Amino acid sequence: MKIKAQRPVFRAALQSDGTLELLVYEEIGENYWTGGGVTAKTVKQQIDQAGAHSRIAVRINSPGGNAFEGVAIYNLLRAQGKPVDVFVDGIAASAASIIAMAGDARIMGSNAMMMIHNAWSGCQGYADDMRKMADVLDKVSVSVAQTYIDRAGISQEKAKELMDAESWLGAKDCVDLGLATGIAEDDENDDAAMALARSFKALARLKAVPAFLKNDATGDDTACACPCDPCQAGDCTGCNCGGCDSDTCGAEACNCREKDLGNAADLSVYEAELHLVERSC
């Protein structure tokens, strides 16, 4: 099926053969700045509203996002009691790779990529706060790694090695590791999907993005939705706002950091979400 998606989008469509197709061409988790993003709540709403369907097909082209939402969507899809087919049309990075593991069949476009890495977040506070946050992130990474271990059959040591390295894996790599079960032949969505993948600004936060994915994601930042003065002036390198998509946030120029990082740095929130992850894995 040819998919025309030139902008991030999440939608569901019931196909004539009884397959519910979920198009996940979007970040994972609610985007505070744009109002976009895919959450477990929106996925469940689409499934509940779809009517009778015999199987689910999930098409992914996403830079990832919130690991907790990724785990929740993964568990939601697995709980449907129906065959799930996952197709990676462009990239399944970070939290999107967790969702990809929900597929009984996990098919990647010949030029598609999957990326897995350790959990990361922002924090402010005293040294004890930083140490506590590091401990929480380690626990999240272990929980996420268990998904790859369970679905791909890789060892705990291999999962840790791949996540520590922020591994960008091609289709053949994923098949060899068990993260994917097959490679699509002559997928007509490949070129359009990769063009969209290069436009995801969230990729700019990552360290080891392949060069061919940097064309757009690390280029023009003038479209940033962050309201701080530097971003609105087209200079995301001067932004210090927790919601900015720039990988160089940290300068003192941003005047909205204190307002927006309060909840993000609240360790009790992370711990509450962590307990949910541990119960579901």
| 201, 224 contact by CB (below 8 A) | yes
Cβ(90)–Cβ(61) below 8 Å: yes
Instruction: Tell whether the model's pLDDT for residue 14 goes beyond 70.
Output: yes
Structural domains for the chain: 9-219 (3.90.226.10)
**The whole model's pTM is what?**
0.73
Q: What is the pLDDT of residues 94-153, one digit of tens each?
A: 999 999 999 999 999 999 999 999 998 888 889 999 999 999 999 999 999 999 999 999
Asked if the model's pLDDT at residue 258 lies above 90, the reply is no
Q: What is the pLDDT of residue 248?
A: 44
Q: Quick check: 269 and 263 in contact, CB under 8 A? A: yes
- Among 97, 92, 86, 85, which residue's Cα sits nearest to residue 113? 92
The pLDDT tens digits of the residues spanning 51-79 come to 899 999 999 999 999 999 999 999 999 99
List Cβ neighbours of 58 (8 Å cut-off, separation of 6 or more).
21, 22, 24, 77, 84, 85, 86, 87, 99, 100, 102, 103
